Amino acid sequence: MTLRVLRPGLLTTVQDLGRPGYQNQGVVVGGAVDRFALRVANLLVGNLEGAAALEITLHGPRLHVESDVYLAIGGADLSPALDGEPLPLWRPLLAPRGTVLDFGAPRRGCRAYLAIAGGGFDVPVVLGSRSAYLRAGIGRALAKGDVIAPLGTPPRTRLRTSAYLHPALLPAYSPHPLLRVLRGNQFETFTPESRERFFQTRYTVTPHSDRMGCRLMGGSSLELQHAEQMISEAVTSGTIQVPPAGGPILLLADRQTTGGYPKIGQVAAVDLPLAAQVPPGGTVRFQEISLEEALSLYVARERALLRLKLALASR
Amino acid sequence: MANMEPLGEQAVLVRLGTEIREETFYEVQALAARLEEQPFPGLWELIPAFTTLTAFYDPQVTSYEQACAYLEKALHSLTANSAPLHPRTVEIPVCYGGEYGPDLEAVADHTGLDIQEIITLHTSVEYLVYMIGFAPGFPYLGGMPEAIAAPRRTEPRLKIPAGSVGIAGQQTGVYPLETPGGWQIIGRTPLHLFRPEHERPSLLQAGNSVRFRAVSAEEFRECEAERR
């Protein structure tokens, strides 16, 4: 027994890197919305990067620590505190038995990831993943009284809690980020004015946003050159769809596998963590990027994570 | 040359047609089958749709240009008439109307047919499962008789029970999970279309044939009780 839930928070679920391989069954990959934060939090406590952690949304839980546990929190700053003492993000910490881990007001971002040493949280694997996928009835949100424990015993060697992540490695988290986007598959079907407007508008993230996607509002509507019914095709995380009425939708982890709305853009993978952390009321702007640039940024991010992995493993 | 375009940094979308046709569908399925048998390095997922196949891969293993070349080669290796892949017909029992199909009357009003005629037409044909998408286990079915086409509801419902059978325009489908939605609900099946405990969680697979069979409310409840 490790953590007992005293208060579950707004929406706290177990997430890992999702369940690839079932999209032809209509089952999305899902998993952590901010994959960078989940991976780093796991690495900091000595787990594999894809171990199951808690995804904590805006208003976090209150957890009683039932036995000593090493943990790390990444992603949003939701005012984590241990027995009232504020906790830093992005570094491993020891939470001694009998303490209370509490979250307060959201200060920056909207999704925090709590990783624990010992291989991550032990919940049932469904279709190859421990990720909750509430829309499909897989897993559930944490509830008061739940007891959650790690899979195995944490390594006996003490974690060096002086380790921390160099801020330069972090994505440029902001409530008002500039997101780099590739042209979407139907970019050319929009009118020239609409294409231009898409890159000039500052869009507000509405409160109807969730793990499926950010619903955006702002500017006048984006028009197609010819109104035509599109045939449903694949979408993915970061796809920006434009339904006929209402604003664009930026798809996140629990998107659908296929969609029938024209895709105007695709957020570069390296900027997806930024999109994942924009709270309701925050804004986003889009800037065009080429596939080559997006790829080299992606590769650079993966290399940085690999270096972090190696550095943590060799200490 | 097939038309290929990137979907982000980690996927190629292959376009094999511009309208929904059975030949295009079989070409998409054959290409997917070929890639499942002989995946290229870094390939981790395929999404077959009506006229497209999207291949997700690790761009650190295979470049976009290499991925396109692999896909082009796979396309060329397909024989002209690939056989249907999942020659299986699934019968779906449906209790039409009443509490299970609250919009059956509205569809009757719209089409000018009576309720029995709609049920007869809906159960008269074999539907082809073109793809599974939109929601876990949701089948996009082709082949509905045009006479029973009806527009979506102007006010979408907030809750449509799992198993609901609906019509939207020229399409018919079955909701695997309880969701909001705007389809005209004409009946409900006690079958579970999404079974997360199965390795193939979708009851229906692309390429299957589907036939609806009208059952009484009593049969519906018996079948439902059996599946508990």
Tokens standing for residue A63: 């957890």
Residue B157 falls within a domain, yes or no?
yes
- The per-residue pLDDT for range A69-123, each reduced to its tens digit, is 999 999 999 999 999 999 999 999 999 999 999 999 999 999 999 999 999 999 9
pLDDT averaged over every residue in chain A: 94
CA distance B157 to A231: 24
| B178 and B70, same domain (yes or no) | no
Would you state the pLDDT for residue A108? 95
The domain that holds B175 is classified in CATH as: 2.40.100.10
Residue B164, both tokens: 């609901």
Nearest chain B Cα distance for residue A205, angstroms: 22
Residue after which a domain boundary falls, among B51, B76, B101: B76
- Chain A interface includes B87 (CB < 8 A): no
Residue B173 located in a structural domain: yes
**What was the pLDDT predicted at A314?**
76
HEC string of A88-104 equals CCCCCEEECCCCEEEEC
CB of B13 closer than 8 Å to CB of B2: no
Residue type, A168: A
Question: Which stretch of DSSP H or E encloses residue A199?
Answer: helix A192-200
CA A203 to chain centre: 20
Mark whether B210 and B132 lie in a shared domain. yes
Same domain, B112 and B204: yes
Interface test with A, best of B4, B21, B25, B47 (most A CBs within 10 A): B47
Same-domain status, B146 and B183: yes
Range of the domain at B204: 89-226
The 10s digit of each residue's pLDDT in B184-204 is 999 999 999 999 999 999 999
Domain contains B41:
yes
Quick one: pLDDT at residue B170?
85
Residue B163 maps to a domain: yes
Q: Does B78 touch chain A (CB under 8 A)?
A: no
* Binary contact (B133, A26; C-beta < 8 A): yes
pLDDT in tens, A197-225: 999 999 999 999 999 999 999 988 999 99
Show the tokens assigned to A4: 């007992």
Q: Is B199 exposed, middle or buried (0-12, 13-18, 19+ CB in 10 A)?
A: exposed
What gap in Å lies between CA A178 and CA B209, rounded to an integer?
A: 47
B116 and B15 both lie in a single domain: no
A149 touches chain B (CB under 8 A): no
B105 is a domain residue: yes
The CATH number given to whatever domain includes residue B33 is 3.30.1360.40
Does B197 contact A294 at a Cβ distance shorter than 8 Å? no
> Which residues are bridge partners to A241 per DSSP?
A249, A263
CB contact under 8 A, B46 and A256: no
User: Quick one: average pLDDT of B161-172?
Assistant: 92
Look at residues B32, B53, B76 and tell me which one is the last residue of a structural domain: B76
- Is the same domain home to B117 and B143? yes
Shared domain for B194 and B172, answered yes or no, is yes
Interface test mutation site (partner B, options A131, A258, A271, A289, max chain B beta carbons within 10 A): A258
Q: What percent of chain A has pLDDT over 70?
A: 96
Show the DSSP H helices in B38-126 as ranges.
Answer: 64-76, 104-111, 115-122
B82, part of any domain = no
**How many domains, chain B?**
2
Give me the amino acid identity at A105.
A
Q: Identify the pLDDT of residue B32.
A: 95
Residue B85 pLDDT exceeds 70: no
Q: Pick B83 or A248 by higher pLDDT.
A: A248
Residues B120 and B194 in one domain: yes
CA distance to A145, A172, A272, per residue, from A167 (Å): 36, 9, 18
Is residue B83 in some structural domain? no
Confidence at residue B154, expressed as pLDDT on a 0 to 100 scale: 80
Average pLDDT over residues B57-65: 97
Q: Please identify, among B50, B76, B102, the residue that sits at the C-terminal boundary of a domain.
A: B76
Domain match, B64 and B175 both:
no
C-alpha span between B51 and B36 (Å, rounded): 18
pLDDT at B2 over 80: no
pLDDT of residue B83: 57
Name the A residues in 151-210 with CB < 8 Å from any B CB. 182, 185
Same domain, yes or no: B162 and B219: yes
- All structural domains of chain A, each given as residue ranges with its CATH number in brackets, are 3-170 (no CATH), 178-298 (2.40.100.10)
How far lies B122's CA from each of B107, B180, B188, B213, in Å?
A: 12, 23, 13, 9
B181, two tokens: 């939605």
Nearest by CB: A291 against B13, B47, B64: B64
**Is residue B65 within 8 angstroms of chain A, CB to CB?**
no
Considering chain B, what is the average pLDDT of its residues? 92
Domain match, B72 and B98 both: no
Q: With 80 as the cut, is the pLDDT of residue B219 above it?
A: yes
Interface A–B counts its CB contacts (< 8 A) at 123
Q: Is A302 exposed, middle or buried (0-12, 13-18, 19+ CB in 10 A)?
A: middle
Q: Is residue B81 part of a domain?
A: no
Of the pLDDT bands very low, low, confident and very high (cuts 50, 70, 90), residue A154 is low
Q: How confident is the model at residue A315, as a pLDDT?
A: 63
**Cα–Cα distance list, B210 to A6, A169, B23 (Å):** 49, 52, 18
Gap between the Cα atoms of A29 and A40, Å rounded: 19
- Label residue A165 by pLDDT band (50, 70, 90): confident
Block residue for tokens 């009593």: B218
What would the pLDDT profile of A260-294 be if each residue is shown by its tens digit?
A: 899 999 999 999 999 999 999 999 999 999 999 99
Asked if B59 and A299 come within 8 Å (Cβ–Cβ), the reply is yes
Please tell me which residue, A154 or B71, carries the higher pLDDT value: B71
Query: Does B61 share its domain with B98?
Result: no
